Amino acid sequence: MENLDNISFIIPTLNEEKNLPRLLNSIQKTMGEFIYEVLVVDNGSNDKTQNIALTHNTKLLVDQEATIGGLRNIGARSASYDILVFLDADISLEPNWIYKLQEDIKSWPKDDLIITGNSYLVPESSSLVEKHWFSKLVNTNDNYINSGHLITTTTMFKKVNGFNEDLRTGEDYDFCRRAKNKNGVVRKCKNLKGFHHGFPKTIAQFILREAWHGKEDFQSISKLIHSKTALASLANFTLLASAFFLVVAADNRFFAIVPLTLMAILSLATAQIKFGKNTTAKELIPTALFTQFYFFGRVLSPFLKMKRPKARS
């Protein structure tokens, strides 16, 4: 690939006036004199997002009807350069990010069929939800790259025809899956650091976030039975309902211990599987507790009528 330093940053937005300046400033700081462009693809913000994009000399595109995948596709198809960097508006890049990317590019396949990037880092000032859940996602060996910090090439993007615009969520997982089917390389670059400032701070926000992300799993029976997370969430709910029935309806608290114990085992096992080596035995119990909130959010998915949250979510 020629012009390895020429980068198109693509940022979907929806009412991001509080976050966008921080991201744009971090891009400017890391890129310095390198050649790059920033494309802000707005979903119809009614705050100052669009004005901020224009005052920072970005290329502003607007589509009020597009899904999150559609917004990213609009940006990518309007990009001028061969390296596409998809970022959510509520992250910021480390000052030496561009140099870490340059180093990683040296190991890219010659056919440019690659998707890379990294998980979000949690800011130093973090809530309990961030500490016991999201901070542990950083070093997990996911089989896909989160689209809030995803890097690919125009060659790879065109090979899979971009993101699936019919998906309301999970478009990044689908994008990476199709890339693998086209012989694309999907791997994290753990040296690339982006700090996420939009993680849920409260349990209620965490539950609603997971309710949104779980919606695709309940779109059909086929998707449901192929989602381990959805099946585990339903199993957990069934156990909880059984315990409630035994305590309230059957007035048998002793036997309620059985489903409650199975819930605890399911939570501990899920936390261990999901986070693996990133969770010590001491940390496993509070993380397992948050797994219950994770399950609760996912099982709420089919019952909550939610509009798409901000693009960053």
Give tens-digit pLDDT for 7-33.
999 999 999 999 999 999 999 999 998
Q: Is the pTM of this model over 0.75?
A: no
Least confident segment among 25-34, 229-238, 303-312:
303-312
Question: Is 215 found in the same domain as 180?
Answer: no
Q: Which of 146, 181, 196 is the last residue of a domain?
A: 196
Residue 72 shares a structural domain with residue 173 = yes
Q: Kindly state whether residues 74 and 156 are assigned to the same domain.
A: yes
Tell me whether residue 309 is in a domain: no
For residues 109-116, average pLDDT:
96
Q: Are residues 282 and 232 in the same domain?
A: yes
Domains held by the chain: number: 2
* Weakest mean pLDDT among 36-40, 295-299, 304-308: 304-308
Which residues does 123 contact at the CB level (< 8 Å), separation at least 6? 130, 195, 196, 197
**Beta strand pairing call for 185-186 and 36-42:** unpaired
Q: Is residue 313 in a domain?
A: no
- Residue after which a domain boundary falls, among 159, 181, 196: 196
pLDDT at 155 over 70: yes
Note down the domain range covering 296. Answer: 203-303
Same domain (yes/no): 34, 99: yes
Q: Does the residue 2 lie in any domain? A: no
Give a yes or no: residue 233 inside a domain.
yes
Residues 149 and 244 in one domain: no
Is residue 275 included in any domain, yes or no?
A: yes
* Top-confidence residue, 255 or 187: 187
Average pLDDT, the chain: 89
User: CA torsion 199→171→24→120, rounded to 10°?
Assistant: 40
Rounded CA-CA distance 215/212 in Å is: 6
Looking at the fold, whether 137 and 58 belong to one and the same domain comes out as yes
Range with the poorest average pLDDT among 139-153, 185-199, 263-277, 296-310: 296-310
Is residue 99 within 8 Å of residue 105, measured between CB atoms?
Answer: no
pLDDT of residue 5: 60
Task: Concatenate the DSSP letters of all residues of 31-95 into one string.
Answer: HTTS-EEEEEEES--SSSHHHHHHHTT-EEEE-SS--HHHHHHHHHHT--SSEEEEE-TTEEE-T
What was the pLDDT predicted at 278? Answer: 65
Q: Which of 151-155, 193-197, 224-228, 306-310 has the highest mean pLDDT?
A: 151-155
In a domain, 1, yes or no: no
Instruction: Encode pLDDT of 243-288 as tens digits.
Output: 999 888 767 778 889 999 999 999 999 988 888 766 777 778 888 9
127 secondary structure, DSSP code: -
| One domain, residues 183 and 87 | yes
Domain shared by 43 and 141, yes or no? yes
Clarify whether residues 179 and 273 are in a common domain.
no
Q: In this structure, are residues 115 and 109 in contact, taking their beta carbons and an 8 Å threshold?
A: no
Tell whether 74 is covered by a domain. yes
Verify that 166 and 262 share a domain, yes or no: no
- Domain limit, last residue, from 196, 222, 240: 196
Query: Is it the case that residue 310 has pLDDT exceeding 50?
Result: no
Residue type, 220: S
pLDDT band of 80, cuts 50, 70, 90: very high
Do 222 and 295 lie in one domain? The reply is yes
310 found inside a domain: no
10 Å Cβ neighbour count for 77? 14
Q: Which range (58-72, 246-260, 291-305) has the least confidence?
A: 246-260
Which CATH number does the domain housing residue 149 bear? Answer: 3.90.550.10
